[in-house]
Amino acid sequence: MAKYPTLTATLREEFGKGFARRLRSAGRIPGVIYSGHTENVHFSVDRLEYTAVIRNNGVNSIIEFDIDGEKHLTMVKHIDQNVLTFKIDHVDMLAINRNERVEVDVPILLEGEPVSGAMVIQDADTIYVEANVLEIPEEIVVSIEGLDFDARLYASDVVLPEDVTLVADPESIVVSIHHPEAEEEEEAPAEEAAAESTESDES
């Protein structure tokens, strides 16, 4: 992700729940840019513009904010969403440098098909890696083409893009291939036990 969007934001000098509600009613999101080297920056940004960036680029989005003519390069730290409307209520951003390396969770995308009749269990939806802040992959593709029954792929088996390194436990399972009948056999004793329990209750 060498390119990143720039959003115009407004410096926020008022605080409190009442002011935050007024911002949201006006279609804006309150936020904070956290930095370990300078003072935190409180801002507000257009809700639709910010939401579009997250929808298009994902939660690892790199965003440059133009706040009163001053540029702030950031990445997402935390997003608060309304539990009822799912609209973004507040954002925490982290100030970054262009040459900085960061540790992030990147989504895993499975590609291909295992042997016929196999059941695929994706044990991990993301993989924890370190990458240059401007080169964070949007997703990492893991091929399961032709994998046989009982096969497992571990984090150490995942082919990472150049200059991306693994941070996750190398022995953590990413995907496993199962026999469908094995799943059915595990369910059968539980169903039989439930049936026996029902009969005992009725008697």
From residue 132, give the alpha-carbon distance in Å to each of 64, 77, 93, 136.
16, 16, 17, 6
Q: Which tens digit of pLDDT belongs to each residue from 101-125?
A: 999 999 999 999 999 999 999 999 9
| Residue ranges covered by each domain of the chain | 6-96, 102-193
Tell me the CATH number of domain 102-193, given options 3.30.9.60, 2.40.340.10, 2.170.120.20, 2.40.50.140.
Answer: 2.170.120.20
Percentage with pLDDT > 90 across the chain: 69
Judge contact between 64 and 97, C-beta under 8 A.
no
User: The pTM is what?
Assistant: 0.74
Residues 6 or more apart whose CB falls under 8 angstroms from that of 162 comprise none
Cα(91)–Cα(106) distance, rounded to whole angstroms? Answer: 20
21-63: pLDDT as tens digits: 889 999 999 999 999 778 899 999 999 999 999 999 888 989 9
Domain 6-96 indexed as CATH 2.40.240.10: yes
